[in-house]
Amino acid sequence: MIENKSIKNFLFMLSGIVLLFCASLPNLADAVLATLRYALSFLGFGWVAALLNLSKIVLVLGAVGLATVGVVFSIIDAQAQKRQPNWIVVGCVGGSSFFALIGAFVPVLFWIGFLSIPALVVAMIMAYKDVLGEWKNPVSKVATFMMIGILVAFWNRCFNVYMGISSIHILASLCSIAAFVYLCVWQSKFFEAIGKPVGPLFMIGCILYAVADFFNMIPVLGIVGMLLAIGAWVLLLIAYIKMLNCQALGDLGRKGALVMLIAHCVAVLSFLPVINLASVAGLGFGWWLIVAQLEKKA
């Protein structure tokens, strides 16, 4: 889909880094689940305990896999071009993956992922700088920035709604609010470029989601947050439907919009383990296809 190997490797790495960042955020919800898992195991319901941890384990393994693919192929390409790979990025991704795996498989050490966050930010910035001159279409960079925001924002909405404990996942909620604001900043440039009036729907939906996440952190206002989130969900549903008819996106981009539409609908079941990850993965992959189309037609 993407002919430029450097960009393709960067997107693999970037997707893994962003998901590792999400998985590494320490939170009270993990502490509650860790305690519950031990209690269930003690009572002989170990399979329930394993199910509760399944989504995070799959998330970490998938993120490590994506980041590793990007790193390995970046090293191979660098060696083929007789230049040194960016060992700082390699080290940051490798160390962060190690800490994320420990946090996933040893629940009481859920906080250890916090050590990875600075390294992941450094890896993301430096990996991006390595491909600055590789983009064919300036809008592709904007779309990539939006993909980062979508992965962070909807990871929080899809991944942390199970068992009604999203209100105590404060750090993730703050990151999600920031990501929705970030999407509002970049969306105008993207939707102006593809020439369709989807932008206002997308922006209002993101604003409503940001406010909903804020209210979700205040238990007495949780019902208000839920109502705002429903309104945001409907607006983004309409936006994705309109994107299906956007000729400027091309065939591949419209397929991406369809994948995102399906993932958006699946997100209503995101309280179920693994289904939550499927919705996040669909949103990310759909946006990846849009980036691929933008690069293809440049």
Domain boundaries, the chain: 1-134, 163-298
This prediction has a pTM of 0.86
Which DSSP category does 165 fall into? -
Instruction: Report the pLDDT value the prediction gives residue 168, as an integer from 0 to 100.
Output: 52
Instruction: Report the pLDDT value the prediction gives residue 163, as an integer from 0 to 100.
Output: 40
**Residue 279's Cα: distance from chain center in Å?**
10
Instruction: Report the pLDDT value the prediction gives residue 183, as an integer from 0 to 100.
Output: 92
Say how far apart CA 205 and CA 217 lie, in whole Å. Answer: 19
* Residue bearing the bigger pLDDT, 276 or 234: 234
Instruction: Return the percentage of the chain with pLDDT > 70, whole number.
Output: 85
How do residues 96-121 score in pLDDT, each as one tens digit? 999 988 887 776 677 787 888 999 99
Query: Three-state secondary structure along 72-99?
Result: HHHHHHHHHCCCCCCHHHHHHHHHHHHH
How do residues 144-194 score in pLDDT, each as one tens digit? 999 999 999 998 888 765 444 444 567 788 888 999 999 998 888 888 877
25's CB contacts (< 8 A; 6+ apart) are 113, 114, 117, 171, 172, 175
Q: If we measure between CA atoms, which residue out of 239, 169, 178 comes closest to residue 209?
A: 178
pLDDT band per the 50, 70, 90 thresholds, residue 35: low
